Amino acid sequence: MSWVQCINAIGGIEIGQDRKVETKLPAQPPRKEQLNAKTKVPQLLWDYMQHFDCTPSPEKPVRAAQGLFGYSSFDAVQHFETISFKNEKGLNSIPLVRYRLYQYVIVINHFKDDLYICENKIAGVESEVTAVESLIRSRDVPVYPFKSKNEETSNLTDEEYIDIVKKGIQSCHRGDVFQIVLSRRFQQSFTGDEFNVYRALRNINPSPYLFFFDYGDYKLMGSSPESQLIIKGGSAVVHPIAGTFKRTGEDSLDQEMAEKLLADPKENAEHVMLVDLARNDLSRLCDNVSVNYYRKIQYYSHVIHLVSEVTGTVREQTNPFELLAVTFPAGTLSGAPKFKAMELIDSFEPTQRGYYGGCIGFMGFDGTCNHAIMIRSFLSRDNTLFYQAGAGVVAASKPESELQEVNNKLGALKKAIVAAADIS
């Protein structure tokens, strides 16, 4: 297991809510331009990466520095597909897309207790690696307390969420969609250092993807169980997660719940549809698409999930951002058919999703990709934590059960907020 920390952004590309693109190359001033209807954003992102002449390193830790770190929010799909959202409420005012090149990337191999400082050496950028080494050796690390302020609020009451679930069920019966993922946002004001929430979350809900991105005026942090897309060695991989039961806290009972989950018609119908959608998405730019494993039980801190793995061989000369775009957003965060489901989500949900359901991770200069879906995650902005979860709605859904599924998925996040107050 490796841990990565990035220091000193020296370049990057981002797309704002105003459809303006800002690009910055190392040791050069930033440039801004307006997107037009003909701009192909995946190609724009990949073209930016072509400014860097980088020989892939044979050393795995060094390869972790040879690329961009960043995210694409859920609403960025408007720049990947022809869809346009009408709902402009609840904008968090963070960029839709943001990727950065960092001068230093620190990689820690926890298994071997090894630490690597990787530096991207670029003409015109002064090296300060000795200062980085000094910071690492320093034991003077201040810790600031965290405290919740006022009561938690939501963009929907329980009754209002049940109402939009009923609309989703009606849409399934009409044949508009086979499945739709409807979500609910919560927010919690706080004082102090939200990094303590992340520290608590890592302990409470260890997951394949643990991340904390500090952009100054806002932060993204989470413990996501699900990959958006992995590209490595010419292969693309996605892991659809659909089908959720709550854990009981007792191993024997959890095993019984897992067996019930495997036998549940509604949960399995949802999973089958989303595996098929993942296969279709990959097939747009991959050959030899197959399901490596199917309906595998995986246990997390508060829930039990059904998980499958879908793989494909990436076609030659494929732009990895284009492959990311055709799988985006994940069907497990939208529904099927995806386009119609997103239109209905825009109509039913009272606020834009923003970061929730987007993806975050690394894109290598060599075309490698490792992105997580931003679920079980927080946006911190203006001393407020935003967090969100959804449930997959099908024709056989029971509204109260979908409400409970949302609460189950948020269990680890809410527990982390409480636990963060005790960290000192």
Catalytic residue, chosen from 79, 279, 305, 371, is 305
CA atoms within 13 A on the CB side of 309: 10
Is 376 catalytic? The answer is yes
Is 335 catalytic? The answer is no
Catalytic residue, chosen from 209, 355, 356, 387, is 356
- Tell me, letter by letter, the H, E, C secondary structure of 182-243: EEEEEEEEEEECCHHHHHHHHHHCCCCEEEEEECCCEEEEEEECCEEEEEECCEEEECCEEE
Give CA–CA dist 183/34, Å, rounded: 31
Q: State the CB neighbour count (10 A cutoff) for residue 107.
A: 20
Q: Which among 333, 299, 301, 326 is positioned nearest to 312, based on CA atoms?
A: 326
Using CA atoms of 42, 46, 47, 50 in order, give the dihedral in degrees to the nearest 10: 180
Cis geometry, peptide bond prior to residue 329 (ω within 30 degrees of 0): yes
Cβ 352 vs Cβ 96: under 8 Å: no
Catalytic residue, chosen from 199, 279, 371, 376, is 376
Is 305 catalytic? The answer is yes
Catalytic residue, chosen from 23, 244, 327, 332, is 332
Q: Which among 279, 272, 268, 276 is positioned nearest to 237, based on CA atoms?
A: 279
Using CA atoms of 104, 205, 310, 345 in order, give the dihedral in degrees to the nearest 10: -100
Is 356 catalytic? The answer is yes
DSSP string across 48-79 = HHTT---PPPSSHHHHTTSEEEEEE-GGGGGG
Active site residues: 305, 332, 356, 376, 392
